[in-house]
A and B are shown apart, each in its own frame.
Chain A
Amino acid sequence: MTLHLTETDQSMLRGNEGLAAKMAMSILVRMAEVAGAKELLDITAAHIDSTIYIGDAGLEFAERLAGLGAKVRVPTTLNVSGLDEHHWHEWAVPAEWARRAQRQMDAYRSMETIPTWTCAPYQTEMKPKFGQQIAWGESNAIVFANSVIGARTERYPDLFDICCAITGRAPAIGLHLTENRAGELLLRLKEIPEALQRSDDFYPVLGHLIGKVALDRIPVIDGMTATPSEDQLKALGAAAASSGGVALFHVIGVTPEAPTLGAAFQGNEPKERLEVTMSLLRKARAELTHTDSDMLDMVVLGSPHFSLAEFKQLAPMVKDKKKNPNVRFLVTSSRAMTQLAKQAGYLETLQSFGAQLTVDTCILATPMLPPEIKHLMTNSAKFAYYTPGLLGRTIAFGSLKDCVNSAIEGKIVRDESLWNS
């Protein structure tokens, strides 16, 4: 099987469209061959995860492309960066690190991209449409775009997303193609109380469990009696893309490619079946907590970035209350969403409670936490999954309400009633 390239592809590869397009197309073609693609296809949007500053190689890659005059060919949003550009001084970010993260932001900004700086691009004006072919990086964004919207992207890594954006092309492989979007394993909810299904902490726990079971396969969830909100599906996907490599899930009667079991599996039989019981869910929930103590230094919310609806949900919980002075309370979100939350009056309520806000980035992507902050709590399975390894700190998982109550009490407190039923 050989890769067929169009005239335009070949022209780019020869350097007729500039040196940046040549470098991007060269990487694209080598990877399309590795993946066994027969051809490339047009994409109409991209989301760039390569914005996160990790070290000098990523920075040199960005500056090499920018220096060659790279410009994107399709509307391209930018993921979180390594820096809250305007507020990093208020935290423990080393100046040299900030300087390099800033250079990486500048390099990607110079490519005529849209500087959204968010890991939830699907909650911006740039949200893709059903069936749209796109090239997205950022695991939580990929799974949301595929599953909840029905847009089509393969699970693309950093550095590749920008090559697709610069060329406007992607390999015709994987989840771009209808036949590869069929469900592979069936997960049936068994006697899960509807009250729990309506609770916001159900979704990250279910996602964490699904990621571990599905790994890189496409799970289909049946038996959900509640109707999950957009943010609940976002939490489910982010969790499943952290504990596993899930890039697409279907929920029968909820997600757009799964009106029925037959549609979700495209008429095939599931290769594997699993009953999701309370016992499995309790075990998954316990795994998200990586501490035995109730000590708490900071509550962190907003992975993926907090949406307007989440600000709206949080505001009444903290209204006329004050957090414990020994505990910090941080919400991470995008600039655009924060602006909307401000206009709606939610930010004022949060600030009176004692909450702080960080935009453009999150605790996992920037070294912002001072050393005295050792014990964290979150409602995000993604934060819970990565914090011990990336930040070397303890983390407890709870519902949004648990997080608020813990911040007020000054120690980790959780309402177990829904989980013990």
Chain B
Amino acid sequence: MEQLTILGKPFIPGLARGMALVSAVPLSFWGGFDWKSGEIIDRRHPLSGEIAKGKVLAIPFTRGSSTTTAVLLEAIRAKTAPVAILTTTTDFFFALASVVADEMYSKSIPLVAITESDFSRLQSGDEVKVTESGTVIVTKANNHVEA
């Protein structure tokens, strides 16, 4: 079973485990993520129609609307959010949603920044474990299926 260990920077530390949902295309959550269902609804985005709820979402950073934070906050409250988000920059919009969710509901989701080259090794379907220290342990999907 092929495993990768990625050393990331945990800008909101936490523990999570889930299947990866990966795209190199940035996403706005407002108009791009339905917090009621957890579906990605940006019809121009490669992940359109995918369910991000319960997954480890990997996108480089947010784009577009300032309301992305508010949408992720709703999702954390409604339990439709990804279990963790991996980005290539310290994404302020995601971080704020997690900080406010912690402030309001004592719930936050871990956010980890990884390098672009590590990001390019991720694929949708990989099993991902995120640790408090920002280490991301990835079990590749292909090998996982064979095992």
Chain A residue contacts of B69, Cβ below 8 A:
157-160
Show the binding face of A for B, using Cβ within 8 Å.
23, 26-27, 30-31, 34-36, 49-50, 52, 54-58, 60-61, 64, 137-139, 142, 154-161, 211, 215-216, 241-245, 287, 290, 364, 385-386, 388-390
User: Could you tell me the dominant secondary structure of chain A's interface residues?
Assistant: helix
From 1 to 50 in chain B, residues with beta carbon under 8 angstroms from any chain A beta carbon are 11-12, 26, 28, 30-32, 35, 41-44, 48
Q: Are B64 and A241 interface neighbours, CB within 8 A? A: yes
Q: Does B137 contact A (CB under 8 A)?
A: no
> Which of the residues A31, A49, A52 comes within 8 Å of B99, measured between beta carbons?
A31
Q: Are A49 and B67 interface neighbours, CB within 8 A? A: yes
Contact string, B49-85, partner A, CB cutoff 8 A, digits 1/0? 0000000000001111111111101101110000000
Q: In the docked arrangement, what's the CA distance between A139 and B66, Å? A: 5
Q: In the docked arrangement, what's the CA distance between A142 and B68, Å? A: 15
Q: Are B31 and A26 interface neighbours, CB within 8 A? A: no
Q: In the docked arrangement, what's the CA distance between A56 and B96, Å? A: 17
Chain A residue contacts of B96, Cβ below 8 A:
27, 31, 157, 159-160
Q: Are B63 and A244 interface neighbours, CB within 8 A? A: yes
Q: In the docked arrangement, what's the CA distance between A158 and B67, Å? A: 5
Q: Are A31 and B95 interface neighbours, CB within 8 A? A: yes
Chain A residue contacts of B68, Cβ below 8 A:
157-158
Q: In the docked arrangement, what's the CA distance between A30 and B92, Å? A: 11
**Closest CB-CB distance, A155 to chain B, in whole Å?**
7
Q: In the docked arrangement, what's the CA distance between A238 and B67, Å? A: 14
> Which of the residues B11, B65, B92 comes within 8 Å of A242, measured between beta carbons?
B65
Q: Are B43 and A388 interface neighbours, CB within 8 A? A: yes
Chain A residue contacts of B103, Cβ below 8 A:
23, 26-27
Tell me the nearest residue of chain B to A79, going by C-beta.
B66
Chain A residue contacts of B131, Cβ below 8 A:
none
Tell me the nearest residue of chain B to A365, going by C-beta.
B67
Chain A residue contacts of B95, Cβ below 8 A:
31, 34
Task: Please judge, given known A-B contacts A56-B74, A157-B68, whether A389 and B12 are in contact too, CB under 8 Å.
Answer: no
Q: In the docked arrangement, what's the CA distance between A36 and B11, Å? A: 10
Q: Are A36 and B74 interface neighbours, CB within 8 A? A: no
Q: Does B93 contact A (CB under 8 A)?
A: yes
**Closest CB-CB distance, B50 to chain A, in whole Å?**
13
Could you list some 28 contacts between A and B, CB below 8 A? Answer: A27-B96, A27-B99, A31-B95, A36-B90, A49-B66, A54-B67, A54-B71, A55-B74, A55-B78, A57-B70, A60-B104, A157-B97, A158-B67, A159-B97, A160-B69, A161-B66, A211-B63, A216-B89, A242-B65, A244-B64, A245-B26, A245-B61, A385-B31, A385-B44, A385-B64, A386-B30, A386-B65, A388-B43
Task: Please judge, given known A-B contacts A57-B77, A157-B96, A245-B64, whether A34 and B70 are in contact too, CB under 8 Å.
Answer: no
Q: Are A155 and B92 interface neighbours, CB within 8 A? A: yes
Chain A residue contacts of B30, Cβ below 8 A:
54, 386, 390
Tell me the nearest residue of chain A to B93, going by C-beta.
A157
Task: Please judge, given known A-B contacts A155-B92, A388-B43, whether A56 and B77 are in contact too, CB under 8 Å.
Answer: yes
Q: In the docked arrangement, what's the CA distance between A381 and B32, Å? A: 16
Q: Are A57 and B61 interface neighbours, CB within 8 A? A: no
Q: In the docked arrangement, what's the CA distance between A45 and B96, Å? A: 21
> Top 10 nearest A-B pairs by Cβ distance?
A157-B69, A245-B63, A386-B31, A55-B74, A57-B77, A158-B70, A388-B43, A389-B41, A137-B66, A390-B31
Q: Among B62, B78, B99, find the residue whose CB has the most chain A CB atoms closer than 10 A.
A: B99
Chain A residue contacts of B104, Cβ below 8 A:
57, 60-61, 64
> Which of the residues A57, A155, A390 comes within 8 Å of B74, measured between beta carbons?
A57
Q: Are A34 and B92 interface neighbours, CB within 8 A? A: yes
Q: In the docked arrangement, what's the CA distance between A244 and B69, Å? A: 16
Q: Are B43 and A389 interface neighbours, CB within 8 A? A: yes
Tell me the nearest residue of chain B to A211, going by C-beta.
B63
Q: Are A158 and B66 interface neighbours, CB within 8 A? A: yes
Tell me the nearest residue of chain B to A161, going by C-beta.
B66
Task: Please judge, given known A-B contacts A364-B31, A389-B41, whether A243 and B66 are in contact too, CB under 8 Å.
Answer: no
Task: Please judge, given known A-B contacts A52-B70, A364-B31, A389-B42, whether A243 and B63 are in contact too, CB under 8 Å.
Answer: yes
> Which of the residues B31, B78, B93, B99 comes within 8 Å of A30, measured between beta carbons?
B99
> Which of the residues A58, A242, A390 comes within 8 Å of B70, measured between beta carbons?
A58
Q: Are B26 and A139 interface neighbours, CB within 8 A? A: no
Q: In the docked arrangement, what's the CA distance between A50 and B70, Å? A: 8
- A290-B43, A389-B31 given; name 7 further pairs at CB < 8 Å: A57-B74, A158-B66, A216-B26, A216-B89, A385-B31, A389-B41, A390-B41
Chain B residue contacts of A137, Cβ below 8 A:
66
Chain B residue contacts of A242, Cβ below 8 A:
28, 64-65
Q: Are B66 and A157 interface neighbours, CB within 8 A? A: yes
Chain B residue contacts of A389, Cβ below 8 A:
31-32, 41-44, 48
Q: In the docked arrangement, what's the CA distance between A157 and B72, Å? A: 11
